[in-house]
Amino acid sequence: MARPMKQLPRTNDPLVAFARDLQALRKQAGNPPLALMAEHSGLSTATLSNAHTGKKLPTWATVNGYVLACGGDPESWSARWESLRLAAAGVTGDLCREALSRWERTGNLTPPHAADEGELRELLKTLLDFNGLSHRTLAKQAPGYSHVTYGAVLRGARPLKAKILYQILIGCGVYSLQSQEAWFHLLSSFSRSEGVEGGKLLARVDRPLRYAGDLDLKMLKAILERLERGRGLFAADIVSRDSINSLRTAYEDMLALLLSSLQRSQVQLPPKLAFALNRVVGELRNSSVPNPAAIDALVPLAMPFHPRLRTRVTMALKNAGELLRRAEAGELNIRGVAGLRLSLPPSPLHVQRTTPTAS
């Protein structure tokens, strides 16, 4: 039997209310033990327990795993969690809220007009917050500078140089050349010399790096966790129709995210790359799992930076694709209610989202 959860007070504190609703979701799911939730979510029991204490806002990965383990829909919690996160980070002001609204609505990580360099720094802080990045995490994703340097630049203790701005943009998933140009154009409004340096820097960008569009790294990591968690369930021999459907959904979501990123770049691809992209789109539309070779071409195209993360995404997609192909072929088994092992009937992929075509 699951240990009773500590009852939270009825207050107007939105963080406590959020935790209280997480507790309510768990109760609606039959109050599953934390150990069982940990098994399904890939999170520790301590992490899950702390999520509903109301003392600290849990990470999105924790909320996502908690809600999924209780049979809920994480998307219905996303906007509320985002609001709490922004409030905790102190994101205020019409300019930053305008930027967040634009980024969430369009996926294009371009900046609104800023009146001075101080507002530009605030926009960069908001960009980090949008991606859920600390200075340390930024330094890992954009290793050109240390977290101390990034922090000093964003506080205004050090000048905002073009090279540092470029590293911040790359670390935050601003891959599109058009978006990068927009940020450097804004920088040139306050420092003409750094704007010129930014133009020179972008002129030296290799052609393969010009095809990518802006990428929501926070969303990518959340989907990646779902893919890897689904693979873990199969490795642990916890195979069910629900786990296969969840894996299929995560697989489609990842491909849709990468394809939409390339679509936003609005850059014409060379014939060979265009063929690989159209192959992925065509196979998804035909309710089949894309060929691994096509995945090998797609992922580096959409993720030219962050090699370690790119490798994880590639492997997760390949592993998930192989499992889904086996499921469609009826090669996987699931446990029946009486402990019997039953063949899983083929179930094709259904892609109901708009996917791009390369010109």
Q: What is the pLDDT of residues 97-147, one digit of tens each?
A: 788 878 888 888 999 988 888 889 989 988 988 887 889 889 988 888 999
Please state, in angstroms and rounded to a whole number, the distance separating the CA atoms of residues 254 and 203: 31
Provide the number of structural domains found in the chain: 3
Q: Are residues 116 and 58 in the same domain?
A: no
Tell me which of 176, 205, 234 is where a domain ends. 205
pLDDT tens track of the chain, all 359 residues?
456 677 777 777 888 999 999 999 999 988 888 888 888 777 888 888 888 888 888 887 788 889 988 988 888 888 788 778 767 655 556 788 788 878 888 888 999 988 888 889 989 988 988 887 889 889 988 888 999 999 999 999 999 999 999 999 999 999 988 899 999 999 999 999 998 999 998 888 776 677 788 888 888 888 888 888 877 666 655 567 777 888 888 888 888 888 888 877 777 777 777 777 777 777 767 667 877 877 887 888 888 888 888 889 999 998 888 888 887 777 766 554 333 333 333 333 333 333 344 43
Q: Are residues 314 and 335 in the same domain?
A: yes
Q: Are residues 118 and 82 in the same domain?
A: no
Q: Are residues 236 and 196 in the same domain?
A: no
Q: Are residues 267 and 334 in the same domain?
A: yes
| Residues contacting residue 255 through CB under 8 Å, at least 6 positions apart | 280, 284, 290, 298, 317
In whole angstroms, what separates CA 86 from the centre of its chain?
A: 17
Q: Are residues 199 and 244 in the same domain?
A: no
Q: Are residues 157 and 238 in the same domain?
A: no
Q: Is residue 356 part of a domain?
A: no
Q: What is the pLDDT of residues 292-330, one digit of tens each?
A: 877 887 888 888 888 888 889 999 998 888 888 887 777
Please state, in angstroms and rounded to a whole number, the distance separating the CA atoms of residues 95 and 113: 8
HEC string for the chain = CCCCCCCCCCCCCHHHHHHHHHHHHHHHCCCCCHHHHHHHHCCCHHHHHHHCCCCCCCCHHHHHHHHHHCCCCCHHHHHHHHHHHHHHHCCCCHHHHHHHHHHHHHCCCCCCCCCCHHHHHHHHHHHHHHCCCCHHHHHHHCCCCCHHHHHHHHHCCCCCCHHHHHHHHHHCCCCCHHHHHHHHHHHHCCCHHHHHHHHHHHHCCCHHHHCCCCCCHHHHHHHHHHHHHHHHHHHCCCCCHHHHHHHHHHHHHHHHHHHHHHHHHCCCCCHHHHHHHHHHHHHHHCCCCCCHHHHHHHHHHHCCCCHHHHHHHHHHHHHHHHHHHHHHCCCCEEECCCCCEEECCCCCCCCCCCCCCCC
Q: Is residue 211 part of a domain?
A: no
Q: Is residue 133 part of a domain?
A: yes
Show the domain range for 199. Answer: 93-205
Q: Is residue 7 part of a domain?
A: no
Please state, in angstroms and rounded to a whole number, the distance separating the CA atoms of residues 163 and 153: 12
Q: Is residue 222 part of a domain?
A: yes
Q: Are residues 107 and 198 in the same domain?
A: yes
Q: Is residue 118 part of a domain?
A: yes
Token output for 143: 């290793």
| Residues contacting residue 225 through CB under 8 Å, at least 6 positions apart | 42, 61, 64, 65
Tell me which of 71, 86, 101 is where a domain ends. 86
| Residues contacting residue 208 through CB under 8 Å, at least 6 positions apart | 300, 301, 304
Tell me which of 154, 182, 205 is where a domain ends. 205
Q: Are residues 99 and 198 in the same domain?
A: yes
Q: Are residues 173 and 250 in the same domain?
A: no
Q: What are phi and psi of 162, to 5 degrees?
A: -60, -40
CATH of the domain at 53: 1.10.260.40
Percent pLDDT > 90 in the chain is 19
Q: Is residue 49 part of a domain?
A: yes
Q: Are residues 305 and 221 in the same domain?
A: yes
Q: Are residues 79 and 98 in the same domain?
A: no
Beta pairing partners, 335: 341
Q: Is residue 4 part of a domain?
A: no
